[in-house]
Chains A and B, each alone.
Chain A
Amino acid sequence: MTARAAQRNPVTAEPRAANGAGRDEELADRSSDWDIARVRRDFPALAQTVHGHPLIYLDSAATAQKPMCVLERIRRSYLEECANIHRGVYQLSERATAAYDQARETVRAFIGAEHTSEIIFVRGTTEAVNLVAQSYGRSHLGAGDEVLITALEHHSNLVPWQMLCQESGATLRVAPIDERGNLIWTEFERQLGPRTKLAAFTWVSNALGTVNPVKAMTEAAHRQGAVVLIDAAQAAPHRLVDVSDLDCDFLAFSGHKLYGPTGIGVLYGKRHLLEEMPPWQGGGDMIAQVSFERTTYAAPPAKFEAGTPDISGAIALGTAITYLESLGLAAVARHEDELLAYALAALESVPGVRIVGQPDHRAAVVSFLLDDIHPHDLGTVLDRYGIAIRAGHHCAQPTMRHFQVSGTARISLALYNQREEIDMLVLRLAEAQKMFKR
Protein backbone atom coordinates (compact mmCIF):
# COMPACT_ATOMS: atom_id res chain seq x y z
CA MET A 1 0.00 0.00 0.00
CA THR A 2 1.32 3.41 -0.88
CA ALA A 3 1.73 6.23 1.57
CA ARG A 4 -1.22 7.98 -0.09
CA ALA A 5 -3.40 4.93 0.21
CA ALA A 6 -2.61 4.55 3.89
CA GLN A 7 -4.59 7.72 4.54
CA ARG A 8 -7.95 6.13 4.07
CA ASN A 9 -9.59 2.87 3.37
CA PRO A 10 -11.54 3.01 0.12
CA VAL A 11 -13.16 -0.34 0.80
CA THR A 12 -14.97 0.72 3.92
CA ALA A 13 -14.92 4.33 2.84
CA GLU A 14 -14.06 5.48 6.31
CA PRO A 15 -13.09 9.08 6.70
CA ARG A 16 -9.43 9.63 6.23
CA ALA A 17 -7.13 9.72 9.18
CA ALA A 18 -6.30 13.25 10.18
CA ASN A 19 -2.60 12.94 9.78
CA GLY A 20 -1.70 11.26 6.55
CA ALA A 21 1.77 10.49 5.45
CA GLY A 22 3.60 11.99 2.49
CA ARG A 23 2.29 14.92 0.54
CA ASP A 24 -0.71 15.61 2.72
CA GLU A 25 1.39 16.01 5.80
CA GLU A 26 2.73 19.35 4.74
CA LEU A 27 -0.69 20.43 3.51
CA ALA A 28 -2.55 19.40 6.62
CA ASP A 29 -1.30 22.26 8.74
CA ARG A 30 -4.67 24.00 8.52
CA SER A 31 -6.59 20.88 9.35
CA SER A 32 -6.39 21.05 13.12
CA ASP A 33 -8.90 23.84 13.37
CA TRP A 34 -11.18 24.45 10.42
CA ASP A 35 -11.46 28.21 9.99
CA ILE A 36 -14.85 28.34 8.33
CA ALA A 37 -14.97 32.13 8.20
CA ARG A 38 -11.65 32.22 6.40
CA VAL A 39 -12.71 29.51 3.97
CA ARG A 40 -15.97 31.29 3.20
CA ARG A 41 -14.11 34.50 2.44
CA ASP A 42 -12.43 32.62 -0.39
CA PHE A 43 -15.85 32.21 -2.05
CA PRO A 44 -17.24 35.70 -2.75
CA ALA A 45 -20.46 34.24 -4.23
CA LEU A 46 -21.47 33.06 -0.77
CA ALA A 47 -21.72 36.63 0.48
CA GLN A 48 -24.68 37.58 -1.67
CA THR A 49 -28.33 37.77 -0.71
CA VAL A 50 -31.17 36.02 -2.51
CA HIS A 51 -34.73 37.34 -2.17
CA GLY A 52 -33.43 39.47 0.68
CA HIS A 53 -31.89 36.58 2.61
CA PRO A 54 -28.25 35.54 2.86
CA LEU A 55 -27.57 32.82 0.30
CA ILE A 56 -27.45 29.33 1.77
CA TYR A 57 -26.02 27.15 -0.95
CA LEU A 58 -26.81 23.47 -0.39
CA ASP A 59 -26.44 22.21 -3.95
CA SER A 60 -22.73 21.66 -4.38
CA ALA A 61 -23.32 18.15 -5.72
CA ALA A 62 -24.81 19.86 -8.76
CA THR A 63 -21.97 22.33 -9.01
CA ALA A 64 -19.68 23.85 -6.41
CA GLN A 65 -19.11 27.56 -5.91
CA LYS A 66 -15.70 28.77 -7.07
CA PRO A 67 -12.98 30.26 -4.92
CA MET A 68 -11.57 33.64 -5.90
CA CYS A 69 -8.23 32.11 -6.89
CA VAL A 70 -9.95 30.05 -9.60
CA LEU A 71 -11.80 33.09 -10.94
CA GLU A 72 -8.60 35.12 -10.91
CA ARG A 73 -6.75 32.37 -12.74
CA ILE A 74 -9.34 32.30 -15.52
CA ARG A 75 -9.11 36.05 -15.83
CA ARG A 76 -5.33 35.99 -15.94
CA SER A 77 -5.35 33.20 -18.48
CA TYR A 78 -7.35 35.33 -20.91
CA LEU A 79 -5.69 38.61 -19.98
CA GLU A 80 -2.05 37.62 -20.06
CA GLU A 81 -1.61 34.32 -21.85
CA CYS A 82 -4.43 33.99 -24.34
CA ALA A 83 -2.95 31.94 -27.15
CA ASN A 84 -3.52 28.54 -28.62
CA ILE A 85 -1.40 25.74 -27.22
CA HIS A 86 1.04 23.28 -28.78
CA ARG A 87 1.37 25.40 -31.92
CA GLY A 88 2.71 28.86 -31.48
CA VAL A 89 6.42 29.59 -31.45
CA TYR A 90 5.83 32.87 -29.68
CA GLN A 91 6.04 33.55 -26.00
CA LEU A 92 2.31 33.91 -25.30
CA SER A 93 1.67 30.46 -26.70
CA GLU A 94 4.60 29.03 -24.81
CA ARG A 95 3.20 30.41 -21.57
CA ALA A 96 -0.29 29.03 -22.27
CA THR A 97 1.16 25.65 -23.23
CA ALA A 98 3.28 25.49 -20.10
CA ALA A 99 0.29 26.36 -17.88
CA TYR A 100 -1.90 23.79 -19.64
CA ASP A 101 0.74 21.08 -19.28
CA GLN A 102 1.28 22.03 -15.65
CA ALA A 103 -2.45 21.59 -15.02
CA ARG A 104 -2.22 18.07 -16.39
CA GLU A 105 0.65 17.37 -14.03
CA THR A 106 -1.36 18.80 -11.10
CA VAL A 107 -4.24 16.47 -11.95
CA ARG A 108 -1.87 13.51 -12.28
CA ALA A 109 -0.43 14.08 -8.85
CA PHE A 110 -3.90 14.75 -7.38
CA ILE A 111 -5.24 11.33 -8.38
CA GLY A 112 -1.99 9.44 -7.97
CA ALA A 113 -1.59 8.47 -11.63
CA GLU A 114 1.77 7.30 -12.84
CA HIS A 115 2.03 9.25 -16.12
CA THR A 116 0.69 12.58 -17.34
CA SER A 117 -0.20 10.81 -20.61
CA GLU A 118 -2.89 8.99 -18.62
CA ILE A 119 -4.76 12.27 -17.98
CA ILE A 120 -7.19 13.27 -20.76
CA PHE A 121 -8.91 16.63 -20.51
CA VAL A 122 -12.57 16.37 -21.46
CA ARG A 123 -15.67 18.51 -20.93
CA GLY A 124 -16.75 16.64 -17.85
CA THR A 125 -17.64 13.23 -16.44
CA THR A 126 -20.34 12.72 -19.05
CA GLU A 127 -17.91 13.20 -21.91
CA ALA A 128 -15.34 10.96 -20.22
CA VAL A 129 -17.82 8.09 -19.97
CA ASN A 130 -18.92 8.61 -23.56
CA LEU A 131 -15.31 8.62 -24.67
CA VAL A 132 -14.69 5.22 -23.06
CA ALA A 133 -17.97 3.80 -24.38
CA GLN A 134 -17.33 5.03 -27.91
CA SER A 135 -13.63 4.30 -28.14
CA TYR A 136 -12.92 1.33 -25.88
CA GLY A 137 -16.46 -0.02 -25.89
CA ARG A 138 -17.06 -0.03 -29.63
CA SER A 139 -13.73 -1.66 -30.35
CA HIS A 140 -13.97 -4.32 -27.63
CA LEU A 141 -17.62 -5.26 -27.09
CA GLY A 142 -19.89 -7.39 -29.22
CA ALA A 143 -22.92 -9.67 -29.04
CA GLY A 144 -22.83 -11.90 -25.98
CA ASP A 145 -20.68 -9.51 -23.96
CA GLU A 146 -21.96 -7.74 -20.89
CA VAL A 147 -21.58 -4.35 -19.26
CA LEU A 148 -22.28 -4.22 -15.53
CA ILE A 149 -23.42 -1.05 -13.79
CA THR A 150 -25.24 -0.48 -10.48
CA ALA A 151 -28.70 0.80 -9.61
CA LEU A 152 -27.06 3.93 -8.18
CA GLU A 153 -25.81 5.38 -11.45
CA HIS A 154 -26.34 8.92 -12.64
CA HIS A 155 -27.83 8.88 -16.15
CA SER A 156 -24.40 9.84 -17.46
CA ASN A 157 -23.02 6.46 -16.39
CA LEU A 158 -26.03 4.59 -17.71
CA VAL A 159 -27.21 6.04 -21.01
CA PRO A 160 -23.80 5.84 -22.78
CA TRP A 161 -23.66 2.12 -21.93
CA GLN A 162 -27.23 1.60 -23.08
CA MET A 163 -26.33 3.22 -26.39
CA LEU A 164 -23.22 1.08 -26.67
CA CYS A 165 -25.18 -2.10 -25.94
CA GLN A 166 -27.85 -1.24 -28.49
CA GLU A 167 -25.17 -0.72 -31.08
CA SER A 168 -22.92 -3.66 -30.24
CA GLY A 169 -25.46 -6.28 -29.22
CA ALA A 170 -23.94 -6.47 -25.74
CA THR A 171 -26.19 -6.75 -22.68
CA LEU A 172 -26.46 -4.16 -19.93
CA ARG A 173 -26.72 -5.67 -16.46
CA VAL A 174 -27.55 -3.78 -13.29
CA ALA A 175 -26.39 -4.72 -9.80
CA PRO A 176 -29.28 -3.90 -7.45
CA ILE A 177 -29.36 -1.98 -4.18
CA ASP A 178 -31.14 -2.84 -0.96
CA GLU A 179 -33.88 -0.88 0.81
CA ARG A 180 -31.30 1.35 2.49
CA GLY A 181 -29.57 2.24 -0.75
CA ASN A 182 -26.50 0.02 -0.31
CA LEU A 183 -25.15 -2.00 -3.16
CA ILE A 184 -26.04 -5.68 -2.59
CA TRP A 185 -22.57 -7.12 -2.68
CA THR A 186 -23.54 -10.74 -3.35
CA GLU A 187 -25.67 -9.63 -6.31
CA PHE A 188 -22.86 -7.54 -7.67
CA GLU A 189 -20.49 -10.50 -7.48
CA ARG A 190 -23.07 -12.85 -8.91
CA GLN A 191 -23.62 -10.65 -11.94
CA LEU A 192 -19.94 -10.54 -12.73
CA GLY A 193 -18.82 -13.33 -15.01
CA PRO A 194 -16.61 -14.20 -17.94
CA ARG A 195 -18.99 -12.30 -20.23
CA THR A 196 -18.54 -9.08 -18.27
CA LYS A 197 -16.21 -7.05 -20.44
CA LEU A 198 -16.72 -3.80 -18.63
CA ALA A 199 -17.89 -2.74 -15.18
CA ALA A 200 -18.78 0.92 -14.70
CA PHE A 201 -19.91 2.17 -11.32
CA THR A 202 -20.18 5.31 -9.29
CA TRP A 203 -18.05 5.89 -6.23
CA VAL A 204 -20.59 8.15 -4.51
CA SER A 205 -24.26 8.25 -5.48
CA ASN A 206 -25.35 11.77 -6.34
CA ALA A 207 -28.94 10.94 -5.41
CA LEU A 208 -28.52 9.14 -2.08
CA GLY A 209 -24.94 9.81 -1.02
CA THR A 210 -24.11 6.09 -0.87
CA VAL A 211 -20.37 5.44 -0.93
CA ASN A 212 -19.62 2.29 -2.90
CA PRO A 213 -16.73 0.00 -1.93
CA VAL A 214 -15.04 0.74 -5.22
CA LYS A 215 -11.71 -0.87 -4.48
CA ALA A 216 -13.29 -4.21 -3.64
CA MET A 217 -15.61 -3.84 -6.63
CA THR A 218 -12.65 -3.20 -8.89
CA GLU A 219 -10.86 -6.27 -7.56
CA ALA A 220 -13.94 -8.44 -8.06
CA ALA A 221 -14.41 -7.19 -11.63
CA HIS A 222 -10.74 -7.70 -12.42
CA ARG A 223 -10.96 -11.30 -11.22
CA GLN A 224 -13.42 -11.86 -14.06
CA GLY A 225 -11.21 -10.05 -16.52
CA ALA A 226 -13.47 -7.00 -16.83
CA VAL A 227 -12.17 -3.52 -17.41
CA VAL A 228 -13.32 -1.05 -14.74
CA LEU A 229 -14.49 2.56 -14.99
CA ILE A 230 -15.15 4.51 -11.80
CA ASP A 231 -17.42 7.55 -11.91
CA ALA A 232 -15.73 9.78 -9.34
CA ALA A 233 -17.78 12.92 -10.08
CA GLN A 234 -19.22 13.05 -6.55
CA ALA A 235 -16.25 11.42 -4.84
CA ALA A 236 -13.39 13.61 -6.00
CA PRO A 237 -14.48 16.71 -4.02
CA HIS A 238 -14.80 14.72 -0.81
CA ARG A 239 -12.36 11.82 -0.74
CA LEU A 240 -8.78 11.22 -1.64
CA VAL A 241 -8.61 9.67 -5.09
CA ASP A 242 -5.70 7.33 -5.69
CA VAL A 243 -5.94 5.46 -8.96
CA SER A 244 -2.77 3.50 -8.23
CA ASP A 245 -4.32 2.11 -5.09
CA LEU A 246 -7.77 1.55 -6.63
CA ASP A 247 -6.15 -0.07 -9.67
CA CYS A 248 -9.15 1.02 -11.78
CA ASP A 249 -8.67 1.12 -15.55
CA PHE A 250 -10.61 4.35 -16.07
CA LEU A 251 -11.76 7.06 -13.70
CA ALA A 252 -13.78 10.14 -14.54
CA PHE A 253 -14.59 13.38 -12.74
CA SER A 254 -15.74 16.91 -13.46
CA GLY A 255 -13.91 20.11 -12.66
CA HIS A 256 -16.97 22.14 -11.71
CA LYS A 257 -17.90 19.93 -8.78
CA LEU A 258 -14.32 20.26 -7.56
CA TYR A 259 -14.48 24.08 -7.22
CA GLY A 260 -13.19 24.47 -10.77
CA PRO A 261 -14.93 25.88 -13.83
CA THR A 262 -17.65 24.19 -15.89
CA GLY A 263 -16.68 22.73 -19.24
CA ILE A 264 -13.59 20.91 -18.05
CA GLY A 265 -13.21 17.42 -16.65
CA VAL A 266 -10.82 14.54 -16.54
CA LEU A 267 -10.66 11.03 -17.84
CA TYR A 268 -7.91 8.92 -16.34
CA GLY A 269 -7.02 5.78 -18.28
CA LYS A 270 -4.26 3.26 -17.86
CA ARG A 271 -1.58 4.00 -20.40
CA HIS A 272 -1.61 0.65 -22.17
CA LEU A 273 -5.37 0.90 -22.69
CA LEU A 274 -5.26 4.47 -23.99
CA GLU A 275 -2.46 3.51 -26.35
CA GLU A 276 -4.38 0.73 -28.02
CA MET A 277 -7.76 2.51 -28.06
CA PRO A 278 -8.87 4.16 -31.30
CA PRO A 279 -9.47 7.93 -31.27
CA TRP A 280 -13.08 8.95 -30.87
CA GLN A 281 -13.02 12.40 -32.41
CA GLY A 282 -10.85 13.45 -35.32
CA GLY A 283 -9.32 16.85 -35.87
CA GLY A 284 -6.37 19.00 -35.12
CA ASP A 285 -3.96 18.27 -32.30
CA MET A 286 -4.69 14.52 -32.26
CA ILE A 287 -2.65 13.60 -35.33
CA ALA A 288 0.90 12.61 -36.10
CA GLN A 289 0.81 12.76 -39.90
CA VAL A 290 -2.07 13.56 -42.22
CA SER A 291 -2.43 12.95 -45.92
CA PHE A 292 -5.57 12.46 -47.99
CA GLU A 293 -4.90 8.74 -48.03
CA ARG A 294 -4.03 8.10 -44.45
CA THR A 295 -3.67 9.69 -41.02
CA THR A 296 -1.58 8.45 -38.16
CA TYR A 297 -2.53 9.50 -34.70
CA ALA A 298 -0.67 11.18 -31.91
CA ALA A 299 0.06 9.32 -28.71
CA PRO A 300 -2.19 9.81 -25.66
CA PRO A 301 -3.26 12.19 -24.26
CA ALA A 302 -3.26 14.22 -27.52
CA LYS A 303 -4.97 11.37 -29.38
CA PHE A 304 -8.12 12.03 -27.36
CA GLU A 305 -8.00 15.81 -27.34
CA ALA A 306 -8.95 16.78 -30.88
CA GLY A 307 -9.37 20.49 -31.43
CA THR A 308 -8.59 23.43 -29.20
CA PRO A 309 -9.40 22.39 -25.64
CA ASP A 310 -10.78 24.48 -22.82
CA ILE A 311 -7.35 25.90 -22.08
CA SER A 312 -8.25 28.34 -19.35
CA GLY A 313 -10.64 25.79 -17.88
CA ALA A 314 -7.92 23.18 -17.54
CA ILE A 315 -5.51 25.70 -16.06
CA ALA A 316 -8.13 26.90 -13.57
CA LEU A 317 -8.97 23.30 -12.65
CA GLY A 318 -5.34 22.92 -11.70
CA THR A 319 -5.72 26.01 -9.51
CA ALA A 320 -8.84 24.56 -7.88
CA ILE A 321 -6.99 21.36 -7.05
CA THR A 322 -4.07 23.29 -5.60
CA TYR A 323 -6.55 25.29 -3.52
CA LEU A 324 -8.23 22.13 -2.23
CA GLU A 325 -4.86 20.65 -1.36
CA SER A 326 -3.83 23.81 0.45
CA LEU A 327 -6.80 23.33 2.78
CA GLY A 328 -5.79 19.73 3.35
CA LEU A 329 -7.89 16.93 1.95
CA ALA A 330 -8.12 15.22 5.32
CA ALA A 331 -9.36 18.41 6.96
CA VAL A 332 -11.95 18.95 4.23
CA ALA A 333 -13.24 15.40 4.66
CA ARG A 334 -13.41 15.76 8.42
CA HIS A 335 -15.30 19.04 8.24
CA GLU A 336 -17.78 17.61 5.75
CA ASP A 337 -18.29 14.37 7.66
CA GLU A 338 -18.98 16.29 10.87
CA LEU A 339 -21.40 18.60 9.12
CA LEU A 340 -23.08 15.66 7.41
CA ALA A 341 -23.69 13.95 10.77
CA TYR A 342 -25.08 17.23 12.12
CA ALA A 343 -27.36 17.68 9.10
CA LEU A 344 -28.66 14.12 9.28
CA ALA A 345 -29.49 14.46 12.96
CA ALA A 346 -31.12 17.85 12.37
CA LEU A 347 -33.29 16.60 9.52
CA GLU A 348 -34.28 13.47 11.40
CA SER A 349 -35.49 15.66 14.25
CA VAL A 350 -38.02 17.41 12.00
CA PRO A 351 -41.45 15.75 12.24
CA GLY A 352 -42.58 14.84 8.73
CA VAL A 353 -39.13 14.44 7.25
CA ARG A 354 -38.49 11.12 5.57
CA ILE A 355 -34.88 10.54 4.58
CA VAL A 356 -34.66 8.64 1.32
CA GLY A 357 -31.77 6.21 1.41
CA GLN A 358 -29.99 5.26 4.63
CA PRO A 359 -26.72 3.86 3.30
CA ASP A 360 -24.11 2.49 5.68
CA HIS A 361 -21.52 4.87 4.26
CA ARG A 362 -22.58 8.29 3.05
CA ALA A 363 -20.82 11.29 1.61
CA ALA A 364 -22.11 14.87 1.78
CA VAL A 365 -25.55 14.17 0.24
CA VAL A 366 -28.95 13.73 1.91
CA SER A 367 -32.16 13.11 -0.04
CA PHE A 368 -35.43 13.62 1.78
CA LEU A 369 -39.15 14.27 1.57
CA LEU A 370 -41.21 16.55 3.80
CA ASP A 371 -44.79 15.49 4.53
CA ASP A 372 -46.48 15.12 1.16
CA ILE A 373 -45.01 18.35 -0.16
CA HIS A 374 -43.69 17.90 -3.67
CA PRO A 375 -39.93 18.52 -3.80
CA HIS A 376 -40.36 21.30 -6.39
CA ASP A 377 -42.78 23.15 -4.18
CA LEU A 378 -40.40 22.78 -1.27
CA GLY A 379 -37.53 23.98 -3.44
CA THR A 380 -39.52 27.05 -4.47
CA VAL A 381 -40.40 27.93 -0.89
CA LEU A 382 -36.82 27.49 0.35
CA ASP A 383 -35.52 29.58 -2.53
CA ARG A 384 -37.68 32.45 -1.35
CA TYR A 385 -35.69 32.21 1.91
CA GLY A 386 -32.38 32.21 0.06
CA ILE A 387 -31.81 28.46 0.43
CA ALA A 388 -30.69 26.63 -2.72
CA ILE A 389 -31.45 22.92 -2.75
CA ARG A 390 -31.95 20.46 -5.57
CA ALA A 391 -35.43 19.10 -6.21
CA GLY A 392 -36.27 16.34 -8.62
CA HIS A 393 -34.92 13.00 -9.76
CA HIS A 394 -31.26 14.06 -9.73
CA CYS A 395 -30.66 12.49 -13.15
CA ALA A 396 -31.07 9.12 -11.46
CA GLN A 397 -34.62 8.08 -12.32
CA PRO A 398 -34.03 4.32 -11.81
CA THR A 399 -32.69 5.03 -8.31
CA MET A 400 -35.79 7.11 -7.55
CA ARG A 401 -38.04 4.33 -8.85
CA HIS A 402 -36.34 1.92 -6.46
CA PHE A 403 -37.67 4.03 -3.60
CA GLN A 404 -41.04 4.49 -5.35
CA VAL A 405 -40.72 8.25 -5.48
CA SER A 406 -40.62 10.48 -8.53
CA GLY A 407 -38.11 12.75 -6.91
CA THR A 408 -36.71 14.06 -3.66
CA ALA A 409 -35.41 17.23 -2.12
CA ARG A 410 -31.65 16.96 -1.81
CA ILE A 411 -29.10 18.87 0.14
CA SER A 412 -25.42 18.44 -0.57
CA LEU A 413 -22.59 19.85 1.49
CA ALA A 414 -19.23 21.31 0.65
CA LEU A 415 -16.21 22.59 2.48
CA TYR A 416 -17.76 26.07 2.86
CA ASN A 417 -21.04 25.00 4.48
CA GLN A 418 -21.65 25.48 8.18
CA ARG A 419 -23.99 24.42 10.95
CA GLU A 420 -25.86 27.71 11.02
CA GLU A 421 -27.03 27.00 7.48
CA ILE A 422 -28.45 23.64 8.51
CA ASP A 423 -30.22 25.30 11.45
CA MET A 424 -31.75 27.83 9.09
CA LEU A 425 -32.84 25.07 6.72
CA VAL A 426 -34.64 23.27 9.55
CA LEU A 427 -36.36 26.51 10.53
CA ARG A 428 -37.56 27.10 6.97
CA LEU A 429 -38.79 23.54 6.61
CA ALA A 430 -41.21 24.32 9.41
CA GLU A 431 -42.35 27.44 7.51
CA ALA A 432 -42.97 25.31 4.43
CA GLN A 433 -45.00 22.85 6.47
CA LYS A 434 -47.11 25.68 7.82
CA MET A 435 -47.69 27.07 4.36
CA PHE A 436 -48.87 23.79 2.85
CA LYS A 437 -51.01 22.83 5.83
CA ARG A 438 -53.25 25.88 5.41
Chain B
Amino acid sequence: MSDLDDLYQEVILDHQRNPRNYARLPNANRQAEGNNPLCGDHVTVYLELDAGVIRNISFQGDGCAIAKASASMMTSTVKGKTVSEAAQIFKSFHQMVTGGADPCFDIESLGKLAAFSGVSAFPVRVKCASLAWHTLNAAIHEQGPAGEGKERPR
Protein backbone atom coordinates (compact mmCIF):
# COMPACT_ATOMS: atom_id res chain seq x y z
CA MET B 1 0.00 0.00 0.00
CA SER B 2 2.94 2.31 -0.55
CA ASP B 3 1.08 4.78 -2.73
CA LEU B 4 -1.55 5.18 0.01
CA ASP B 5 1.25 5.93 2.47
CA ASP B 6 2.62 8.42 -0.03
CA LEU B 7 -0.76 10.09 -0.28
CA TYR B 8 -1.59 10.21 3.39
CA GLN B 9 1.78 11.27 4.74
CA GLU B 10 1.95 12.09 8.40
CA VAL B 11 2.38 15.79 7.80
CA ILE B 12 -0.86 15.76 5.79
CA LEU B 13 -2.76 13.90 8.50
CA ASP B 14 -1.36 16.34 11.05
CA HIS B 15 -2.59 19.37 9.12
CA GLN B 16 -5.96 17.72 8.62
CA ARG B 17 -6.36 17.07 12.33
CA ASN B 18 -4.94 20.42 13.43
CA PRO B 19 -5.50 22.81 10.56
CA ARG B 20 -3.44 26.01 10.77
CA ASN B 21 -5.05 29.41 10.24
CA TYR B 22 -8.50 27.90 10.48
CA ALA B 23 -10.63 30.93 11.29
CA ARG B 24 -12.41 33.92 9.87
CA LEU B 25 -10.05 36.82 9.35
CA PRO B 26 -11.57 39.96 10.90
CA ASN B 27 -9.49 42.35 8.81
CA ALA B 28 -9.84 40.50 5.54
CA ASN B 29 -10.16 42.71 2.49
CA ARG B 30 -10.53 39.81 0.11
CA GLN B 31 -12.36 36.52 0.32
CA ALA B 32 -13.59 33.82 -2.02
CA GLU B 33 -15.48 30.58 -1.80
CA GLY B 34 -14.47 27.43 -3.56
CA ASN B 35 -16.64 24.41 -4.13
CA ASN B 36 -16.05 20.99 -5.49
CA PRO B 37 -19.63 20.23 -6.52
CA LEU B 38 -18.98 16.58 -7.24
CA CYS B 39 -17.64 15.86 -3.77
CA GLY B 40 -19.41 18.55 -1.78
CA ASP B 41 -16.09 19.94 -0.51
CA HIS B 42 -16.11 23.65 0.15
CA VAL B 43 -13.61 26.20 1.40
CA THR B 44 -13.60 29.91 2.09
CA VAL B 45 -10.27 31.74 1.91
CA TYR B 46 -9.83 35.09 3.69
CA LEU B 47 -7.03 37.46 2.74
CA GLU B 48 -5.48 40.59 4.03
CA LEU B 49 -3.86 41.90 0.91
CA ASP B 50 -1.67 44.99 1.10
CA ALA B 51 0.29 46.41 -1.81
CA GLY B 52 0.59 43.06 -3.49
CA VAL B 53 1.64 41.25 -0.31
CA ILE B 54 -0.40 38.60 1.51
CA ARG B 55 -0.13 40.06 5.02
CA ASN B 56 -2.48 37.53 6.52
CA ILE B 57 -4.53 34.58 5.32
CA SER B 58 -6.98 32.10 6.82
CA PHE B 59 -9.56 29.58 5.72
CA GLN B 60 -12.67 27.75 6.79
CA GLY B 61 -14.50 24.86 5.25
CA ASP B 62 -15.12 21.19 5.11
CA GLY B 63 -13.57 18.53 3.00
CA CYS B 64 -11.46 15.41 2.83
CA ALA B 65 -8.05 15.07 4.44
CA ILE B 66 -6.30 16.15 1.24
CA ALA B 67 -8.46 19.24 0.73
CA LYS B 68 -8.20 20.33 4.34
CA ALA B 69 -4.49 19.70 4.72
CA SER B 70 -3.82 21.43 1.43
CA ALA B 71 -5.72 24.53 2.54
CA SER B 72 -3.91 24.53 5.87
CA MET B 73 -0.44 24.15 4.38
CA MET B 74 -1.22 26.68 1.69
CA THR B 75 -2.03 29.35 4.27
CA SER B 76 1.19 28.64 6.16
CA THR B 77 3.19 28.76 2.95
CA VAL B 78 1.93 31.95 1.34
CA LYS B 79 1.62 34.14 4.43
CA GLY B 80 3.97 37.09 3.91
CA LYS B 81 4.57 36.23 0.26
CA THR B 82 3.84 38.52 -2.64
CA VAL B 83 0.99 37.71 -4.98
CA SER B 84 3.39 36.79 -7.75
CA GLU B 85 5.43 34.55 -5.45
CA ALA B 86 2.23 32.78 -4.41
CA ALA B 87 1.25 32.35 -8.05
CA GLN B 88 4.65 30.80 -8.80
CA ILE B 89 4.27 28.36 -5.89
CA PHE B 90 0.80 27.37 -7.07
CA LYS B 91 2.15 26.77 -10.55
CA SER B 92 4.83 24.42 -9.23
CA PHE B 93 2.39 22.77 -6.84
CA HIS B 94 -0.08 22.18 -9.63
CA GLN B 95 2.61 20.68 -11.85
CA MET B 96 3.59 18.37 -9.03
CA VAL B 97 0.09 17.08 -8.17
CA THR B 98 -0.90 16.59 -11.79
CA GLY B 99 2.34 14.81 -12.51
CA GLY B 100 3.02 17.33 -15.27
CA ALA B 101 6.29 18.65 -13.91
CA ASP B 102 9.24 18.71 -16.27
CA PRO B 103 12.22 16.48 -15.46
CA CYS B 104 14.35 19.25 -14.00
CA PHE B 105 11.56 20.32 -11.65
CA ASP B 106 13.04 20.70 -8.19
CA ILE B 107 10.55 19.25 -5.75
CA GLU B 108 12.63 20.56 -2.85
CA SER B 109 11.71 24.09 -3.89
CA LEU B 110 8.21 23.43 -2.65
CA GLY B 111 9.38 22.72 0.87
CA LYS B 112 6.71 21.12 3.01
CA LEU B 113 4.27 21.17 0.11
CA ALA B 114 6.28 18.33 -1.40
CA ALA B 115 4.20 16.12 0.92
CA PHE B 116 1.48 16.35 -1.73
CA SER B 117 3.59 14.68 -4.41
CA GLY B 118 1.72 11.42 -3.78
CA VAL B 119 -1.46 13.00 -5.15
CA SER B 120 -0.25 12.55 -8.71
CA ALA B 121 -0.91 8.80 -8.41
CA PHE B 122 -4.56 9.59 -7.63
CA PRO B 123 -5.90 11.69 -10.51
CA VAL B 124 -9.38 12.07 -9.00
CA ARG B 125 -7.89 13.65 -5.91
CA VAL B 126 -6.07 16.44 -7.79
CA LYS B 127 -9.15 18.63 -7.42
CA CYS B 128 -9.11 18.13 -3.67
CA ALA B 129 -5.47 19.19 -3.45
CA SER B 130 -5.89 22.25 -5.65
CA LEU B 131 -9.28 23.52 -4.40
CA ALA B 132 -7.80 25.90 -1.79
CA TRP B 133 -5.23 27.20 -4.28
CA HIS B 134 -7.85 27.97 -6.91
CA THR B 135 -9.86 29.71 -4.21
CA LEU B 136 -6.83 31.76 -3.16
CA ASN B 137 -6.43 32.75 -6.77
CA ALA B 138 -10.07 33.82 -6.91
CA ALA B 139 -9.72 35.83 -3.71
CA ILE B 140 -6.62 37.62 -5.00
CA HIS B 141 -8.34 38.61 -8.21
CA GLU B 142 -11.60 39.53 -6.54
CA GLN B 143 -12.47 43.18 -7.06
CA GLY B 144 -13.79 45.38 -4.28
CA PRO B 145 -14.45 44.62 -0.62
CA ALA B 146 -14.63 41.15 0.84
CA GLY B 147 -17.84 39.28 0.23
CA GLU B 148 -18.50 40.68 -3.20
CA GLY B 149 -17.92 39.06 -6.54
CA LYS B 150 -17.18 35.68 -5.09
CA GLU B 151 -15.73 33.43 -7.68
CA ARG B 152 -16.27 29.75 -7.87
CA PRO B 153 -13.41 27.92 -9.44
CA ARG B 154 -14.29 24.95 -11.50
Contacts and interface: CB of A to CB of B under 8 A. Distances in A.
Nearest to B8: A435
Given A384-B3, A435-B4, A438-B10, A377 B38 contact: no
A354 interface: no
Nearest to A431: B1
Contacts, number: 46
Interface in A391-405: 391-393, 397, 400
Nearest to A373: B65
Interface of A: 373-377, 380-381, 384, 391-393, 397, 400, 406-407, 431, 435-436, 438
Interface of B: 1, 3-5, 7-8, 10, 13, 38-41, 62-66, 122, 125, 128
Nearest to B9: A438
Contact of B8 (A375, A377, A407): A377
Nearest to A375: B64
Contacts of B1: 384, 431, 435
Which of A376, A393, A436 gathers most chain B CB within 10 Å?
A: A376
B38 A392 contact: yes
Contact of A397 (B3, B10, B40, B63): B40
Contacts of A373: 65
B64 A377 contact: yes
A377 B10 CA distance: 14
A380 B13 contact: no
A384 to B, nearest CB: 5
B34 to A, nearest CB: 14
Nearest to B62: A406
B4 A381 contact: yes
Main secondary structure of the interface of A (DSSP, over half): helix
Contact of A407 (B5, B13, B40): B40
29 contacts: A373-B65, A374-B64, A374-B65, A375-B64, A376-B39, A376-B41, A376-B63, A376-B64, A377-B8, A377-B64, A377-B65, A380-B7, A381-B4, A384-B4, A391-B39, A392-B38, A392-B39, A392-B40, A393-B40, A397-B40, A400-B40, A406-B41, A407-B39, A407-B40, A435-B1, A435-B5, A435-B8, A436-B8, A438-B10
A377 B40 contact: no
B5 to A, nearest CB: 8
Given A377-B64, A377-B65, A384-B4, A436 B125 contact: no
Contacts of B41: 376, 406
A155 B39 CA distance: 14
Contacts of A376: 39, 41, 63-64, 66, 125, 128
A438 B122 contact: no
B41 to A, nearest CB: 8
A375 B62 CA distance: 12
Contacts of B38: 392
**Of listed B1, B7, B40, residue having the most chain A CB within 10 A:** B40
